[in-house]
Structure 1
Amino acid sequence: MSWDRFVVLHTRVEAELARSLQRGHGLGLSEYRALAELAEAPGGELRMQELSGALGLNQSSVTRLAARLEGAGLTRRNLCVDDRRGVYTVITDGGRARLAEAMPTYERSLVAALERANADPALSPLIAVVRGS
């Protein structure tokens, strides 16, 4: 398995997911993933540092991402009661609803992108690994 082939597979799948989410739900891929992380978090909230780590984004990128989500009414910010410097991002009911609408699109797009990639003989061994077969 070559790292370069993995990068090609990753890039293809991410591009397909991003297009589908943007076209169908007006969400970027990072926005979708942030909503998914928040929805799974206890109380639907994460500190900005935790969200940054979960998404693999730097602090500045997560701050801009959180501002976009908040501007769209999908999240809100909350100050930490124990440490006023700490800021939480909290998913709203609207964020949960948008995530629920987008989730089937994400899943269908993932399956379709993997199927297309599986047709490429250079990538099909990676698909078998991803699928656990």
Structure 2
Amino acid sequence: MQTDDLRWDGVVTLHGRVEQRIAKALQRRHGIGLSEYRALCRLVRADDGELRMQELADLIGLNQSSVSRLVTRLENAGLTRRDHCPADRRGVYTQITGEGRAVHEKASPTYHAELTGALDDAAADPALAPLVQLLRTR
């Protein structure tokens, strides 16, 4: 197997372990999925707490259909609301609500703790330790 293939396999393995751990903790403790959390993160950081749907899709790595379903779930939970662009009625925005900000604030410590824990666990695996070290190097 090529060196690049082995490195990529390590990235995929590490990513899967980290994602699974964080997703389980967010669902169990806060009732939201990892994609929902990521969307809330991006909206919290956005100007006026809003993003065009396509921009949100690009930022969190989802296609248009998936981000539409995601935003519908967030809207149904009262965490976001949709708005049309006044200059272009075809443009649809999603905006975080106060409740969405509160959920994000409560879930952030869980996200960060689980990320740290998952990377600590992976650092104990000789196959993943160099990758974790690289990620943690500034």
TM-score with structure 2 setting the length: 0.95
Amino acid at match of 1:47: R
CA shift for structure 1 position 2: 1.2
Match of 2:58 in 1: 53
Match of 1:18 in 2: 23
Aligned residue for 1:78, secondary structure, equals strand
Match of 1:112 among 100, 113, 117: 117
Amino acid at match of 2:43: L
CA shift for structure 1 position 20: 0.6
Match of 1:81 in 2: 86
Query: 1:56-94: CA deviations, max 9, x gaps?
Result: 100000000000000000000011000011110000000
Count of aligned residue pairs for this structure pair: 133
% identical aligned pairs:
59
Unaligned residue ranges in structure 2 (runs of 5+): 1-5
CA distance in 2, matches of 1:110, 1:45: 26
CA distance in 1, matches of 2:7, 2:95: 39
CA distance in 1, matches of 2:102, 2:108: 10
Aligned residue for 1:120, secondary structure, equals coil
CA shift for structure 1 position 44: 0.2
Unaligned residue ranges in structure 1 (runs of 5+): none
TM-score with structure 1 setting the length: 0.98
